[in-house]
């Protein structure tokens, strides 16, 4: 899932948040400190949260995090078209009560990876309806998690 392009900031994050994720002239960012295999996920994670306040307002899956721009675009489209999943939202409430914000951000990162993996495979299948059903659900979960993060005012620490 790692491409050759590396994002160095998000326009809609504050200077401080960008410094935490990407580093600055004085210190390394989390991206630099993460193992190589973890960089993509970290960038994906940061991107979603950054755009969580403006879902649908612009591309937030950069080419550093998925196999191709086409998959990134399809992820964005799937999430934009998805419905909020009320049952997932209720489950997130329980998860948050028990395991706090860290598990919610982890759910977002993991769900986005799952979405990318299914979109990357679906075209190879002769019969697509099963996987398309999963894509719809996971895209809805991504949208729901972002809404949950917004509603609760969660920040990644």
Partner 1 sequence: MTNYEDVGVYVGLPVRLQGANNLTEVLPKNLSGAIVLLWLGDSSWKTRDLKAMIIRLAEKKPLAIVVAGERTNESFEVLLETLSVIETPDHIMTGVIHHDDSISDFFVATFPDQLRFDDWQEYFVIAVGNQDLQQQIRDLLNKAVK
Least Å from the CB of residue 49 to partner 1 = 15
Nearer to partner 1, 107 or 149 (CB): 107
Least Å from the CB of residue 26 to partner 1 = 29
Footprint of partner 1 (CB under 8 A): 35, 37-38, 85-88, 91, 94-95, 98-99, 103-104, 106-108, 110-111, 113-114, 117-118, 121-122, 124-131, 133-134, 137-138, 140-141
Least Å from the CB of residue 20 to partner 1 = 22
**112 is written with which tokens?**
């986005």
C-beta separation of 67 from 120 below 8 A:
yes
Least Å from the CB of residue 5 to partner 1 = 20
Nearer to partner 1, 16 or 124 (CB): 124
Nearer to partner 1, 77 or 99 (CB): 99
Q: Residue 107 phi/psi, 5° resolution? A: -60, -40
Nearer to partner 1, 3 or 38 (CB): 38
């Amino acid at each position: 899932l790692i491409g050759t392009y590396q994002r160095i900031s998000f326009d809609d994050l504050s200077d401080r948040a960008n410094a935490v994720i990407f580093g600055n002239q004085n210190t390394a960012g989390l991206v630099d400190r993460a193992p190589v295999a973890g960089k993509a996920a970290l960038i994906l994670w940061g991107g979603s949260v950054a755009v969580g306040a403006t879902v649908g307002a612009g591309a937030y899956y950069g080419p550093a995090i998925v196999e191709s721009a086409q998959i990134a675009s399809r992820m964005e489209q799937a999430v934009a078209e998805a419905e909020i999943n009320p049952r997932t939202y209720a489950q997130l409430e329980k998860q948050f009560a028990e395991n706090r914000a860290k598990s919610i951000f982890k759910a977002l990162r993991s769900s986005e990876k799952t979405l990318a993996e299914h979109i990357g495979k679906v075209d190879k299948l002769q019969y697509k309806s099963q996987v398309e059903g999963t894509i719809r659900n996971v895209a809805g979960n991504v949208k729901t998690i972002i809404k949950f993060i917004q509603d609760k005012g969660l920040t990644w620490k």
